[in-house]
Amino acid sequence: MEILGILKSNIKLDDFELINYLNLSTTEKEMVRTWRNLEDVRKWMYNDHIISKEEHSTFLDKLHIDCSNFYWLVRHIENGYLGVLSINKVDLKNKHAYFGTYANPESKILGKGYLLDKLAIKLAFNEINLHSLKLEVIEKNKGVIFLHKKVGFEIEGKLKEYVLKKGQWENVVVMGILNRK
């Protein structure tokens, strides 16, 4: 299957199903919007406002024509929904992209962030055949920086005073991992 076709479809990786946002049920669409609007998720996002149903619907509609940003709801076959995974700014010519995740706060699966990171790496390198995967994280989010280092990401740089949060400029750390196979 062509890479773009893979990116716009549901994908099975190990014991996980990645349900493309294009295929979400009405209930699933509202579930991911609810998670995204939780304070513990929003506070680490560049856009940290409450997302309305209308805004979310418009975002989902635009994904049908978007060829560089892809989103999946991640479900463990036996244990339910794990969280959300995105691959963004996909550049197939230069074989790189960015990724992001956030976990289902109600999931009892241990190591949710670690699992989401590992799935992102597997998706990027094994399914899409990218050479590098990048991410950006607000510098104050030390736990997430540690988590990304644990799965092999390295700090590649810093974007100084890059995001305005509650009237304060925040630095952003850029991290990356290379596909060495």
Question: What CATH architecture is 3-130?
Answer: 3-Layer(aba) Sandwich (3.40)
pLDDT tens, position by position, 75-100: 999 999 999 999 999 999 999 999 99
pTM exceeding the 0.75 threshold for the entire prediction: yes
145's enclosing H/E stretch is: helix 142-150
Domain ranges, ordered by start, for the chain: 3-130
Say what the pLDDT of residue 1 is: 56
